Amino acid sequence: MQGTPVNIIAGSHVWVEDPDEAWLDGQVSKITGNDVEVTTTNGKQITSKLSKIYPKDMEAPAGGVDDMTKLSYLHEPGVLQNLKSRYELNEIYTYTGNILIAINPFQRLPHIYDAHMMQQYKGAPFGELSPHVFAVADVAYRAMINEGKSNSILVSGESGAGKTETTKMLMRYLAYLGGRAATEGRTVEQQVLESNPVLEAFGNAKTVRNNNSSRFGKFVEIQFDKNGRISGAAIRTYLLERSRVCQVNDPERNYHCFYLLCAAPQEEVEKYKLGHPKTFHYLNQSKCYELADVSDAREYLATRRAMDIVGISQKDQEAIFRVVAAILHLGNIDFTKGKDADSSVPKDDKSKFHMKMTAELLMYD
């Protein structure tokens, strides 16, 4: 990734680092020893070290290339410029060989994930169609079928990059390839897909950068039989950020499940003695209670439906939400010094009420 100082002379078209714009393109106006003066296309004069100057490919197509191995220069400004040109045309996917780079469009693009799209990528040679997450899933699936070996797809990126959504797309495509004709009862693929809302309710939260940030890592294993049909799945989660339950920074939110339960149908809210999230210490450390365009009441019902499909019994669901409610009440218990040297007692009637509710919900005396 080092610059090639050899061919940079006065008049060369280059990329130069800029504190505001990251990289600017321009022409070399003067070279003095190791220092290079560049006049950028937007009229700035920038002096930089020769080692920090990169040549600009003047033949690169205006709309960028779909596979970056085709670029003349695979340096940082060249890569970023290519991704930017494509992003401006709503092309959010770009290859570098067999690696797919995805840029979060921060909007829904349903047309590029519909059944017609899945049909197109099914069995198409890699690289023949535009870069797409379905193409990556297809290659992994075909390799597994043809070689009879397990395959892994790694999805990585920083917070808000779109890992959660990308994983859902991969699962959807694999369920499409390995699905059976609609038969009686719940299909395995349905269960695989419906595990997402459940995991998200209990493992995702709003952070500064992302409204639905996974606060845990997950390893999703989908098993196929010898005919290439989905036969089972296992999802392992690890590194759940548990400290978030009792401490939330403004303007973030705690895990979705707490807000969903506070917005549950009236009889449940009364049964668990809940109220507005602002009445609970574990939720009111941040002033953010709602998410834009998301109805917690609707999400609660969707989560319950997903739990049904995944096969969690009514009795278990009941127990799960009892624990969620108990945690909220637990956060509202304050203690004060008791009569004995090392003893504590609930501070006031409010604390006593929440203590009684916690005990009831957890079925303790």
- In the chain, where the domains are located: 5-55
Task: State yes or no: 158 annotated in a binding site.
Answer: yes
Percent of the chain with pLDDT over 70: 97
pLDDT higher than 50, residue 5: no
For residues 95 and 66, is the Cβ–Cβ distance under 8 A? yes
For residues 178 and 229, is the Cβ–Cβ distance under 8 A? yes
Task: State yes or no: 48 annotated in a binding site.
Answer: no
Q: How confident is the model at residue 188 (pLDDT cuts 50, 70, 90)?
A: confident
pLDDT higher than 90, residue 159: no
Task: State yes or no: 160 annotated in a binding site.
Answer: yes
Q: What are the respective helix, strand and coil percentages of the chain, to the nearest 5?
A: 40, 20, 40
Q: What is the pLDDT of residue 65?
A: 97
Task: State yes or no: 359 annotated in a binding site.
Answer: no
Q: How confident is the model at residue 4 (pLDDT cuts 50, 70, 90)?
A: very low
Task: State yes or no: 3 annotated in a binding site.
Answer: no
Task: State yes or no: 163 annotated in a binding site.
Answer: yes
- Integer Cα distance of 95 and 295 in angstroms: 36
- The whole-chain average pLDDT of the chain stands at 93
Fold observed for domain 5-55: SH3 type barrels. (2.30.30)
pLDDT higher than 60, residue 333: yes
Q: If you ran DSSP here, which 8-state letter would residue 179 be given?
A: P
**Helix/strand/coil (H/E/C) assignment for every residue in 193-259:** HHHHHHHHHHHEECCCCCCCEECCEEEEEEEECCCCCEEEEEEEEECCCHHHHCCCCCCCCCEHHHH
Task: State yes or no: 179 annotated in a binding site.
Answer: no
Task: State yes or no: 338 annotated in a binding site.
Answer: no
pLDDT higher than 70, residue 312: yes
Torsion angles phi and psi, residue 141, rounded to 5: -65, -50
- 93 - beta bridge partners? 102
- 224 - beta bridge partners? 230
Q: How confident is the model at residue 179 (pLDDT cuts 50, 70, 90)?
A: confident
